[in-house]
Chains A and B, each alone.
Chain A
């Protein structure tokens, strides 16, 4: 299976995305930012779509959309009279509609939409892998440099502000990091499924640890393991059984299954302990 060059590239891309999504997913978890991450995946969609049809790099399209949506999100969230949920809902609907308008002008509407939303892991090329690797280096670097401030801000924003830190700057950074992961993963996993990499693994890891570095490491490991499993499943289904299974979707389903099993086990263990006590 790994003798195929396209599988080697897909595997490498999955492992790179595991590192970046596992780390940023942990930030999303402690910041309770899952809804924002989900919203950003939708607001990136028109950028990716426009780039796709203009024959430009998806990476550049996603990057531009990321900057625009991050700035809008941060600015609109600071308007006190409008609550954050309304801002998110407004941005999601508007941006997603804009993306669909762009895509629906094409004859190949359905297949294009599918490709942009769910990605094509098996056709990633060398330049996509290089872009993902670069984004990973930048994002993990930033997390290492300002991780302690990001955690402090997430835990106790009042005391954080009282010490003279600026919330707006750090919140914009958080949104930018999330947006960068979506940028990196847009080609391989698609804008709709990337949120699964950001939310599910960290939520699963939280079930097994109370420590942020361990949650991060377990998240990375989970995405890597489920990524390999999803890729293999997709390959075997397609080559041995002639059934087409998109690997991005397979990875998402496996990650969710692992979360389901662990969550159930945790609940049962707690229940038993309560009865024993």
Chain B
């Protein structure tokens, strides 16, 4: 199954209570690739991630994850939420969060064993936070929390990683570290899907980009897709091209 295509999406349409939120999405992702899903707020970025997890009703088209139905593939897919969506007062330490990545392998009614703890320690080391294993999650900085959540996904040994806005409120050091870790995961054949507002990051760290705004505007390499014409189509008049060729989007659309 590890040789199967991590993600095949064909003419996908998703609707909540008959209101269509996303349609016309088609692309394939190969092992080791990383895809930036870019689009304005409400464009359907989170919906696309949820469709890949089998959490929203697909009204048309299909999603295949590692050759399986999304629901059947869930334990091979890791979802990394935004760190600031989690309660900072929750009484759990960094190691405890990373260990959660092993729970599916451990199963119901059983406690994580030595190999699970070793995997969790290794994952924490991978993101450079071994020394903070016993720190309460909420006492870590935004960037460190995001690294802990990535470590949880690593401990899960997933073949496909879904990251929701991983760079919101993250300092430069953690940002670089996250990019490095994703590079190593990709080298091991893990495919990564990242929803992001950050165009610079999409160019820097992703092999592919998918621009959406209720429907798919474009798919291809970041250079092809994140051109000013495509961005203008997705974001409207907020897109401006600077003299040096850089494209910027006015902040109020974020």
Contacts and interface: CB of A to CB of B under 8 A. Distances in A.
Given A146-B108, A155-B86, A155-B87, A162 B103 contact: no
Contacts of B93: 210-211
Instruction: Please report whether the interface of chain B is mostly helix, strand, loop or mixed according to DSSP.
Output: mixed
Interface string B72-98: 001101111100011100111100110
A211 B106 CA distance: 22
A9 B206 CA distance: 68
Given A148-B111, A152-B103, A161 B55 contact: yes
B59 interface: no
B132 interface: no
Contacts of A159: 79-81, 100, 152
Nearest to A209: B91
B179 interface: no
Given A146-B109, A156-B81, A156-B86, A163 B74 contact: yes
A263 to B, nearest CB: 14
Interface in B90-123: 90-93, 96-97, 100, 103-104, 106, 108-109, 111-112
B92 A212 contact: yes
Contacts of A155: 86-87, 90, 92, 97, 100
Contacts, number: 64
Contacts of B79: 158-159, 162-163
Contacts of B108: 145-146, 149
Interface of A: 30, 32, 145-146, 148-149, 151-152, 154-156, 158-159, 161-164, 206, 209-212, 215
B21 to A, nearest CB: 15
B127 interface: no
A156 B75 CA distance: 16
A156 B78 CA distance: 13
Given A30-B91, A149-B103, A152-B100, 14 more contacts: A145-B108, A148-B111, A149-B108, A151-B96, A152-B103, A154-B90, A155-B87, A155-B92, A161-B55, A162-B78, A163-B75, A164-B74, A210-B91, A210-B136
A27 to B, nearest CB: 12
B74 A162 contact: yes
B103 A145 contact: no
B53 A215 contact: no
B74 A145 contact: no
A67 B124 CA distance: 43
B187 interface: no
Given A146-B109, A158-B79, A158-B85, A163 B90 contact: no
Interface centre among A145, A149, A152, A206 (most CB of B within 10 A): A152
A209 B93 CA distance: 12
A231 B127 CA distance: 53
B71 interface: yes
A159 B111 CA distance: 19
B120 to A, nearest CB: 13
Given A146-B108, A161-B55, A212 B91 contact: yes
B91 A211 contact: yes
8 tightest A-B contacts by CB? A162-B79, A164-B74, A145-B109, A210-B136, A162-B53, A210-B91, A152-B100, A158-B81
Nearest to A160: B100
21 contacts: A30-B90, A30-B91, A145-B108, A148-B106, A148-B112, A149-B103, A152-B100, A155-B90, A155-B92, A156-B86, A156-B100, A158-B85, A159-B79, A159-B80, A159-B152, A161-B55, A162-B55, A162-B78, A163-B103, A211-B93, A212-B92
